[in-house]
Chains A and B, each alone.
Chain A
């Protein structure tokens, strides 16, 4: 059984805006799923609907087998939510805030457990500080501590690194990796492709309320592994010489540019032999450049498909 099952989930906001147009998704226990999508794609709406902050218009969601409407207590007990905005009470101490969260979720007081959570998030020595005295990165970690305070099995992280500098982003990725080691299922949203690439097991691409793609990151990376080399020729040619037909070559820009696609992961890229075959065929090189097709390219392609 999947820990999270979403079936044809739709959300129409008051005023008629359709923010989710029938999203279906299954998430296995222990995996990290990255939901990638531009601003306004519906990522927060999806999370808010699962967590009970907004109501769905139609469709079903089960968390750990419990329906989020009929069995909301059991379902919500399994969920920890780290919201996109830093919503914290500035005058409260870290410790009180975290303890409140645990109690609110109906869990018996357990200071030892909360201590390990705060230790893990490097917040233990700040436990008596008031929230407003903390840096932005620490506040974000307080939100995570609150979400973990009631020992959830599924953790939602809504854009955990939006507006965060590079060093802190790396820290966050380490934190996520550690949580995964502890067996927590993690669903995170992001609009940074590198982020999905760095930490996810699977990647879902969402735009305009629709899930456009859901794929193992590894197989996605296979596609991403493709690289292109553009060879600019001194003189344009009409057609490819016979001797180069074995290569995956395309003639572009009126015959003045040769594009060669290859796999960076394969043992041999074939670049060396291609270059020598090019000069053997009498072609003179003017310039040469390589480019990696990134998740961004795939993403842009998908989004454009979605729009047309």
Chain B
């Protein structure tokens, strides 16, 4: 392992993030506050409790998941797309590094950034509602795994994308709908039976459910299934990335 190279990539990517730290910090704070105003105050006044948890607190895990999934994807996809776009990828390809090192550097940085945003949202939410976290270690584990797996997924999108439109396409058309329909703001049990079944085909449901369990001990699906889902998703992404580098797909001509 060329740890010097991994560190170099990681630090370089993080430096970009820290240059815009205020922006990186303020936007999740504002959007979280808005969610609380809109969902918490408007809807929360009608739905007081979901399965014994106040609605305001209930949406916190979903809110965090929503952000770290979309941030993980956009950070990682942009992180690797940008060198392709401006041509600096030549340096990565000519460096004495292998694909594992490149992935650790870029995906690690992207995951760190989304983790940071997740923590900021959690802290902001703490100002609006009382939060108890029943399984803190599981909570951290779910958060880290989600950040990592979605950063891996974003990395694939960044390599696949040939232009900025494509870069936005997958997050916009697939991920955002899946996350919104994945029970971020409601419990599956609130849906009619038919839609409950349909929802179970949405992989994001398993992640949000597991994460919510870590907070409140309530889950739409068994926690074990949630873990299998996220491990499976990570594995699929890893295999895809391994194949991409092995075949040189959209990287080496």
Contact = CB atoms under 8 A, between A and B. Distances in A.
Interface of A: 13-14, 51-55, 72-77, 79, 81, 83, 85, 87-91, 96, 99-108, 146
Interface in B217-253: 248, 252-253
B88 A87 contact: yes
Contacts of A91: 19
B92 A88 contact: no
Given A72-B96, A81-B90, A89-B88, A55 B252 contact: yes
Interface stretch (B2-10, B54-62, B149-157, B179-187): B2-10
A36 B230 CA distance: 55
Contacts of A101: 91
A55 B248 contact: yes
B161 to A, nearest CB: 18
A104 B252 contact: no
Interface residues of B, number: 25
A146 B9 CA distance: 15
B158 to A, nearest CB: 16
B57 to A, nearest CB: 40
A104 B9 contact: yes
A159 to B, nearest CB: 14
B186 to A, nearest CB: 41
Contact of B91 (A90, A99, A104): A104
Contacts, number: 80
Nearest to A78: B96
A107 B92 CA distance: 15
Contacts of A76: 94-96
Nearest to A52: B94
Contact of B4 (A55, A75, A79, A103): A103
27 contacts: A13-B253, A14-B253, A52-B252, A53-B90, A53-B93, A54-B252, A55-B253, A73-B2, A81-B94, A83-B87, A83-B90, A87-B87, A88-B86, A88-B88, A91-B19, A96-B12, A96-B15, A100-B9, A100-B12, A102-B8, A104-B5, A104-B91, A104-B95, A105-B5, A105-B95, A106-B2, A108-B4
A13 B95 CA distance: 22
